[in-house]
Amino acid sequence: MEEKKETGDVIATALVQEATSEPKTVKDERAAIVYISSTFNNTIVHFTDLAGNTIARVSGGMVTKQSRLKANPTTAMFVAKRAAERARDTGITGIYIRMRGATGAIGMGPGAHAAIKTLTKEGFKIISIIDTTRVARGGPKKKGGKRGRRV
């Protein structure tokens, strides 16, 4: 009986030690939404938290002085890097990416893929990528008025 009592005491002391020790902390993962607007004139990277509050917003004009280079992939890389530094200071680790290109059939600008590649290299975990480019449906109003063109 004494042996059973001793093993019970050992188990009890082990449970007490587990209860008093610090709980295992899981690394806090903070997610953000990254809006990448990439047209043929400029590239804008905008970090927001999940509620929509702005964390960082950087554009091509803030990085380069030459107006013609704002949509360049190299400039987009520096834009994403500068925005990522500001976001990392707030503790962001995971990102949802929403890309938007030029409206219509033109598509993405040259800086979109360079910005995403840079964000990956900066150590962010990409959760999803969505293309939110607006698509025109129906086109402009036809010429001729309500009753059409009279011949």
Q: What is the SS3 assignment for the chain?
A: CHHHHHHHHHHHHHHHHHHHCCCCCCCCCEEEEEEEEECCCCEEEEEECCCCCEEEEEEHHHCCCCHHHCCCHHHHHHHHHHHHHHHHHCCEEEEEEEEECECCCCECCCCHHHHHHHHHHCCCEEEEEEECCCCCCCCCCCCCCCCCCCC
Residue ranges of domains in the chain, CATH in brackets: 31-131 (3.30.420.80)
**Nearest CA among 111, 95, 101, 112 for reference residue 135:** 101
For residues 31-55, give the mean pLDDT.
94
For residues 23-46, give the mean pLDDT.
83
Residue with tokens 């949802």: 96
Q: Are the CB atoms for 77 and 63 separated by under 8 Å?
A: no
Q: Tell me: the pLDDT tens digits for 85-128? A: 999 999 999 999 999 988 766 778 889 999 999 999 999 999 99
Stated pTM of the model:
0.72
Strand order in the sheet with 43-48: 54-59, 43-48, 30-38, 92-100, 125-131
